[in-house]
Structure 1
Amino acid sequence: MKTTRTFAFYLLLAALTIFHKPAAAQNYQTTGIQDLALIYQGGSHRLDWTVDEFRPYVVNHFADGTKDWLFDGFLFLEFKDGSGRNYTVGYEKLNARKGEWAWLLDRIFEQGKSLSALDQCIGEQIREIGKPAFKHQVVLGLPEAIRDQKDWGELDGRVMDFSKEEDQIAATKWYIDELLERFKAAGYKHLELSGFYWVAEDTHHCADLTIPLSEYIHAKGKLFYWIPYWQAKGHEEWKRLGFDVAYQQPNHFFNHSIPDSRLDDACATARRHGMAMEFEFDEKATADIPNSSYDRMVAYINHFEKNDVFNSSAVAYYCGNRGVLTLNESKNPKDKALMDRLARIIRMRHIMKYGFPGKNKTRVIAHRGYWHTEGSAQNSITSLLKADQLGVYGVEFDVWMASDGVPVLNHDGWHDGYDVQKTPSTTLTTLKLENGEPLPTLAQFLDAAENTKVRLILELKQHATPEAENAAAEAVVKMIDQRKLTKRVTYITFSRHAMEELIRLSPKTPVLYLGGNISPEELKALGAAGGDYNYGVYLKNPSWLDDMKRMKMISNVWTLNNPVDMVWTVEKQIDFITTDRPDLFLKLSGE
């Protein structure tokens, strides 16, 4: 391998950006439960939570007739008994006593309902669609031993006085022990008890209780969960308070006057404090009702995607009393499509954690290199080296001919106000990319590529004239051949003329067409190796992928950055995917 002084400079630059990084910023929290559904259960005003009521929460029946697993965790919690007593401050005038606590225990373990029904429902679905890649986890809510309550009752022959911290703790430990013993005795086949949930959503009344209770819960081998409301007292101290998992509530769905920017703020808060996120919707998400909150639920999906929540965070789902049921029962196709969209995201999250059910044959190409990372930039030497370090199959990059006949890397045809085709390379290479690196020539890029393993996906841009494209194609092919890189290169282009010229100049090198206006049959007749179509082209022409497979042509799809769409490429067995987020695809495919 040859190493020029130019390449040595870029290698040193890449090494500095790879190994000299500032301390990583705080990020979202992940847990053993990826998608935790909140089940409000126990009070006499709630659903009974039978097998039929649980079914849409356990599996999603998609509009196309397929079915797949949905939530992998279930949080059972209750605020009040429905008869005038509350299990945490602020819901009723009277506080629940030991009798109401025991009544809630009986409701949780009632045969044929609640946990029992959930276990039966999962078993039913296993028989129909096979075992999931995970075992469903359960988190059980803890009533709040409300400060200064005197009428709770007796424990071990002693009247509890909740003005005393030790009595508050003793009553809560009794409840934890009851939950543990009853859960074990029930012998559920498909459920595991992950831990316990602190039902108070701030620390105004209970800050002194969580740490000793956390120690007790940990001694039992379980986790302690919490979901504080937006800007609740103590939310930024969740770790110090003894919680293992904390989700940030945006509290955006319920009030139409709150701007969507609240969702961005909540995501930023969660990242800053290392929290997971809560996704909120309820029965009002259906499209047809007056004052519908359908758009509010859509906003959650859009902003969670924008803020990388679904790719990076554990998520808890507030679904109201029967939000998932209501969306599934709706006759409006918009409601079903919305629930299906969320379910596809959750399915993608399962795949990202547990891998594809079958073998993944789709290989990933880093679009303009791996630039979506610290110290990198599109079409830079660093993006090439980082893509190689990441382990991608190929690197896509864009080539123009400068006015002095030197091929250079650039996407738009303009840089810092200069028209690339009308500017000499001696000027262009003095211009800086976003990471401070000089705009590279193709020669410099290929020098660096000789020391990598990646396949080189060279896009020849559409030039001003056919004559300019002829000159560019000739220069590019000559440069590739001289470096003996022909076997590592695939050519792609939007220009039909440039495609035909590349095929003529390098007949043994794969040439793919990027536009959506030429069918696979015509491409085959022209000598192209395959189609490199946009995702929308495949959706508009569903037979084209089958045509390429039948004719043994190469199939590629660009530019997919949403992991839900990435799953589609694998399921369709497309040969290659071009993406700005190769890191996500590799994570999704377990590579």
Structure 2
Amino acid sequence: MKKTVLVILAAIAVMGISELKAQTKIIAHRGAFKNTLVPENSIASLKASKDLNLWGSEYDVHLTKDDILVVNHDDDFYGIDIATSTYQELLAKKHPNGENIPTLEAYIKTGLKLKKLKLILELKTNKLGLARTLEAAEKTVALVKQLKAEKVTEYIAFSYDACKKIHELAPKAKIAYLNGDIAPDQIKKDGLTGIDYHLDVFVKNPTWLKEAQDLKLTTNVWTVNKETDMKSFIDQKIDYITTNEPELLKTLLKK
């Protein structure tokens, strides 16, 4: 009798752990910036993601004219074009909180100190063309390896060629495609590990989420800021939600 009870309790415990692991995880879009009132893609927004105890923090990576990898969302940093400017030229501007544009090296080094926070590295498509984008991919993967940040880093990109290049350079890395124009079965065939599509893509292709899940691909949706949309994707057991409203999503996941 005691043995039977123990088996039942163990089964319940395993189920509980499985449900916990299966719970949708929160990724702060460009760091936790909106409600914390710090600049997006700043070191401060990265630290704020950790302060909120989020699963991950997304950030955007560009390559400067002089081959320095920097973190910023737009192609320009407060009016200074990144792809055609040197890093020193970018230092002419600062974030409102006084930070310089972060280098990728500084960003990752900070992230490594924030234990249990995943760094979701979006490689931006370079405006100067595919060759420059692929060069940025090579330099990015090399830096992640140099800093021994492979375990905390996951890659995303709108360029499918960049995704495949990253897979070639880091076969064990987790890589998700962003653009939303490729079906899950092709993603799987090409060796990528997930899809990270805008919510409209899942609306237009209602079978893709289930297809990706069946193929054991990771599933992520961006950028989800409304409560109704959050609840819908939570109900569909999506793996990750990328949002500008991590505080709201965190509240919903506790219910």
TM-score (norm 2): 0.88
**In the alignment, does 2:109 pair up with 1:447?**
yes
The match for 1:495 is 159
Q: Which one of the candidate residues 31, 41, 65 is aligned to 1:403?
A: 65
Matches within 5 A, 1:462-481: 462-463=125-126, 464-481=128-145
What SS does the aligned partner of 2:102 have?
coil
Contact persistence 2:30–2:45 (CA under 8 A): yes
Say whether 1:391 aligns with 2:32. Answer: no
1:531 maps onto 2:185 in alignment: no
- 1:379 and 1:564 mapped to 2: Cα distance? 26
Q: CA–CA distance in 1 between the matches of 2:54 and 2:145?
A: 23
Letter in 2 for 1:565: D
Q: Distance in 1 between matches of 2:210 and 2:66?
A: 44
Distance, in Å, in 1 between the alignment partners of 2:142 and 2:91 is: 21
Partner in structure 2 of residue 363 of structure 1: 25
Structure having the higher Rg: 1
* Equivalence for 1:589: 253
Matched with 2:121 is 458
Distance 2:85 2:149 in 1: 28
The alignment partner of 1:531 has SS state of strand
* Equivalent AA in structure 1 for residue 194 of structure 2: G
Does residue 78 of structure 2 align to residue 416 of structure 1? yes
Q: How much has 1:375 moved relative to structure 2?
A: 4.4
Distance 1:370 1:416 in 2: 20
Which residue of structure 2 aligns with residue 504 of structure 1? Answer: 168
Q: Is the 8 A contact 1:523 1:530 kept in 2?
A: yes
> 2:87 aligned with 1:425, yes or no?
yes
Is the 1:430–1:439 contact (alpha carbons within 8 Å) kept by the matching residues of 2? no
User: How far apart are 1:432 and its partner, in Å?
Assistant: 1.2
Q: Partner residue of 2:13?
A: none
Q: Output aligned runs, 1:237-252, within 5 Å.
A: none
Q: How does 1:493-572 map to 2 (within 5 A)?
A: 493-572=157-236
Contact 1:377 1:383 (C-alpha < 8 Å) held by counterparts: yes
- Deviation, structure 1 residue 455: 0.2
Structure 1 residues 19-30: aligned runs within 5 Å: none
TM-fit CA distance, 1:434: 3.2
- The answer to whether the 8 A contact 2:36-2:48 is kept is no
SS of alignment partner, residue 421 of structure 1 = coil
Q: Which residue of 1 aligns with 2:16?
A: none
Report if aligned partners of 1:429, 1:440 keep a CA contact under 8 Å in 2. Answer: no
What is the aligned partner in structure 2 of residue 288 from structure 1?
none
Higher relative contact order (CA 8 A, sep 6+): 2
Query: 1:94-116: CA deviations, max 9, x gaps?
Result: xxxxxxxxxxxxxxxxxxxxxxx
One-letter amino acid matched to 2:185: E
Q: Which amino acid aligns with 2:43?
A: I
- Write the letter of the residue equivalent to 1:513: Y
Q: Which residue of 1 aligns with 2:150?
A: 486
SS at match of 2:249: helix
8 Å CA contact 2:199, 2:223 repeated in 1: yes
Q: Which residue of 1 aligns with 2:14?
A: none
Q: Deviations over 1:411-465 (max 9, x none)?
A: 1101222110001111213421233321111111112111102101000001121
Q: Which amino acid in structure 1 is aligned with residue 191 of structure 2?
A: G
Once residues 449 and 455 of structure 1 are traced to their aligned partners in structure 2, the CA distance between those partners, rounded to angstroms, is 8
Within the alignment, does 1:438 sit opposite 2:100 as a pair?
yes
The one-letter code sitting in structure 2 at the alignment partner of 1:556 is: N
Cα distance between partner residues in 1 of 2:231 and 2:70 = 34
In structure 1, the residue corresponding to 2:134 is in which secondary structure? helix
Aligned residues: 234
Where does residue 43 of structure 2 map in the other structure? 381
Amino acid at match of 1:475: K
- What is the alpha-carbon distance in structure 2 between the residues aligned to residue 560 and residue 375 of structure 1? 19
Q: Does the Cα contact within 8 Å between 2:68 and 2:87 map onto a contact in 1?
A: yes
Number of the residue aligned with 2:7: none
- CA shift for structure 1 position 483: 1.1
SS state at 2:34 partner = coil
Equivalent position amino acid for 2:109 in 1: D
* Equivalent position of 2:3 in the other structure: none
**Distance in 1 between residues matched to 2:107 and 2:89, nearest whole Å:** 17
Deviations 1:2-34 (A, max 9, x none): xxxxxxxxxxxxxxxxxxxxxxxxxxxxxxxxx
Where in structure 2 are there 5+ consecutive unaligned residues? Answer: 1-18
Contact 1:375 1:435 in 2 (8 A): no
Q: Aligned letter for 1:476? A: T
The superposition leaves residues 53-94 of structure 1 with CA deviations (integer Å, 9 ceiling, x where unpaired) of xxxxxxxxxxxxxxxxxxxxxxxxxxxxxxxxxxxxxxxxxx
Q: Distance in 2 between matches of 1:588 and 1:449?
A: 26
SS at match of 1:432: coil
In the superposition, relative to structure 1, how do residues 550 and 375 fare at CA in structure 2: closer, same or farther (>3 Å)? closer
